[in-house]
Amino acid sequence: MISEEQFQFEIDQIIKNAIREDVGNGDHSSLACIPSEAQGKAKLLVKDDGIIAGIEFAKQVFSYVDPQIKIEQLIKDGDPVNYGDIAFYVEGASQSILKAERLVLNAMQRMSAIATKTNTFVKLLEGTKTQILDTRKTTPGIRALEKWAVKIGGGTNHRFALYDMVMLKDNHIDFAGGITKAIDKTKSYLKENNLDLKIIVEARDLDEIKTILKSNGVYRILIDNFNYEDTKTAVKLIGDKCLTESSGGITLDTARKYAECGVDFISSGALTHSVYNMDLSLKAV
């Protein structure tokens, strides 16, 4: 994963761009009917059950819009919530609260949904050594938020993007002329460019597992679209030579069985691309 500084930079860019997109040259609805000196207070109301996420992000949004806004936080990111709970109160200039409202709600609703789904996987895998990973199957422009939500839900982040880890998948391997050539070329490229990046290699069958194991320097093998028995065999073949990751359409119904095969990680794009937003609202008080 990227550094904390780079991650915060991504968050700052999300806030800046989202406010630009939503507010433009002014929130004319508020400017038209609410005096600039008017003060107000609102509550973030939970209207669903699950894991709350995005409170710390919301605090950054309000601060960006108006540093004078005050927040009284009642619960924290990662807490379980139920219908009727109040996450926080926000108080300050009414125009500022309304300017930040939609970004706060859009982000928190999606982040909470992702955290809730992730936490369901985490609980399902309890008692095994397997960790649940996210993927790059995220909403363009807000990847940092979605990966943040996975962590809040108890999951583990995979690579952030194409630049912080090497993953040699089927197309890379085929275009390079085979697994061994792809790995050798990658190691040479990293050395020539003085890059210290971990290498993950995807395997489509047990023969490819054996081929990968002939090369040194592989951090993790991606056991892609294997059935349970072949996954168990692959884990035994790999042993402690490198880490293992199962992927490929793994659901809540199948995740536990893959974990029991002994893999270190399970990756699921569904954590971020198939969720239903948690129902939240910001109500004046």
- The catalytic residues are 102, 137, 169, 202, 224
CB 135 within 8 A of CB 157: no
Residue 246 pairs in a beta bridge with 223, 266
Exposed e or buried b per residue across 21-38, where buried means at least 16 C-beta atoms within 10 angstroms of its C-beta: eebeeebeebeeebeeee
CB 187 within 8 A of CB 176: no
Helix 4-23 to helix 94-124 angle (10° resolution) is 130
Which position has the token pair 């070329």? Answer: 185
Q: What stretches of the chain show up as alpha helix (H) in DSSP? A: 4-23, 28-33, 55-65, 94-124, 143-152, 170-176, 179-192, 206-213, 228-238, 255-259, 270-273
194's torsion region: left (phi>0), alpha (psi -120 to 50) or beta?
left
